[in-house]
Amino acid sequence: MSDSDLPEKRNMEILLVEDDQFVRETLQILIQSFGYGCDIAFDGFDAVEKLLKKKYDVVVTDVSMPKMDGLELLAHIQAKHEYTDVIIITGYSDKAGYAEVIKAGAVDFLKKPFEKEELQAKLHRVERERNMVQELEELSLRDELTGLYNRRYFAHKLEEEVGRAQRQGHQVYLAILDVDNFKGYNDAFGHVAGDEVLNDVGRILNTCTRRNVDFTFRYGGDEFAAILTQTDEEQAVKVISRVLDFFSRKKHGDTSLSVGLVRCLFMESMSWAENAEAMVHRADKALYLAKNSGKNQIVSNGEK
């Protein structure tokens, strides 16, 4: 088979739940021919187990199955996997109808027998709608000016990365950066020039950090933040030193960057909210020391 004969790879993982072996294998081949990844489950209980082990975008399930039927599985997914969509398949003898299935929370409905094109069209529609929702969610997490993640996403990402570090045994560092003398520069040269300073900070942060490993944010006003994962203090200082060096080359008047850099230490005796507050407080304290010790420098874990 040549590359041109292969189906277009699509960005959606599907779990097919069907107790009839022939139907299950036929539908799996069909779904894969559309370019989707497709795993199979033999019944509702098997599907529940597979959903614990892997994230699926869509579950396509028969409604009539022993032990746990499709509507019971749908209810489970609604309760435990809110970002997974469900398409229900019914036969002529099944009592469940379109209105009941949609009211129960399914995104679509197929009645046997159905044409290949009908299944493909429904999967494509779900994919388009999921992509649209994802794009809107992504926009809501981005700062409009710099394109960096915003403060709203910072709180979520800090919890996620510190939790991952706890499980995997690596270190996470938090840097909070402030543009020195920004107000005076903004007043003297105007908001357009001030926005260019902020955009430069954002671009430099993204240039100096690792994509999909480190995460950068506009924390608010002229403050920025970076979560540096899978690193140690020496490497974290090197990364932030590069940020300061690159920014100094931009020569935006007397502006510079002051940075508070701290290791994110999780205390089991405190709640996550208390831990997050403590991490940010330590970084803010280090930043304050950097600002009050001459600016244009990094204070790491309370020390210059």
Domain CATH code at residue 294? 3.30.70.270
Is the confidence at residue 5, as pLDDT, over 80?
no
Residue 96 falls inside a structural domain: yes
The reply to whether 207 and 271 lie within a common domain is yes
Helix or strand holding residue 219 (H, E): strand 215-220
**Segment 213-233, tens digit of pLDDT:** 999 999 999 999 999 999 999
Q: Range of 181's domain?
A: 151-300
Q: Which two tokens stand for residue 54?
A: 């892997």
| Exposure string over 225-245, b if 16+ CB within 10 A, otherwise e | bbbbbebeeeebbebbeebbe
Check residue 140 and give its pLDDT. Answer: 83
Domain end (from 83, 106, 140): 140
Q: Is 279 left (phi over 0), alpha (psi -120 to 50) or beta?
A: alpha
The reply to whether 160 and 130 lie within a common domain is no
Domain CATH code at residue 130? 3.40.50.2300
- In this prediction, residue 99 has a pLDDT band, given cuts at 50, 70 and 90, of confident
**Segment 248-269, tens digit of pLDDT:** 999 999 999 999 999 999 998 9
The reply to whether 164 and 230 lie within a common domain is yes
Residue 47 falls inside a structural domain: yes
Phi, psi of 108, deg, nearest 5: -165, 175
Find the distance separating the first CA and the last CA of the chain, reported in whole Å: 62
Residue 273 falls inside a structural domain: yes
The reply to whether 105 and 224 lie within a common domain is no
Scanning 262-301, the segments in alpha helix (DSSP H) are: 272-291
Domain end (from 99, 118, 140): 140
Respond yes or no: is residue 3 known to be catalytic: no
Q: Which two tokens stand for residue 105?
A: 């929370």
Domain end (from 98, 113, 140): 140
Using CA atoms in the order 22, 25, 26, 27, what is the torsion angle rounded to 10 degrees? Answer: 120
The reply to whether 155 and 293 lie within a common domain is yes
DSSP tag of 95: -
Of residues 69, 178, 222, 284, which has the active-site annotation? Answer: 222
The reply to whether 66 and 114 lie within a common domain is yes
Residue 128 falls inside a structural domain: yes
The reply to whether 135 and 167 lie within a common domain is no
pLDDT > 70 fraction of the chain, expressed in percent and rounded: 94
The reply to whether 174 and 89 lie within a common domain is no
Is the confidence at residue 66, as pLDDT, over 90?
no
Average pLDDT, the chain: 91
The reply to whether 131 and 157 lie within a common domain is no
The reply to whether 74 and 190 lie within a common domain is no
Residue 97 falls inside a structural domain: yes
**Segment 175-196, tens digit of pLDDT:** 999 999 999 999 999 999 999 9
The reply to whether 167 and 125 lie within a common domain is no
The reply to whether 155 and 296 lie within a common domain is yes
Helix or strand holding residue 165 (H, E): helix 151-168
Helix or strand holding residue 268 (H, E): none
Check residue 112 and give its pLDDT. Answer: 85
Q: Which two tokens stand for residue 14?
A: 């599907």
Domains contained in the chain, number: 2
Residue 146 falls inside a structural domain: no
The least confident of 25-39, 125-139, 170-184 is 125-139
What is the distance between the alpha carbons of residues 99 and 105, in angstroms, rounded to a whole number? 10
Residue 145 falls inside a structural domain: no
pTM of whole model > 0.95? no
**Segment 17-35, tens digit of pLDDT:** 999 999 999 999 999 999 9
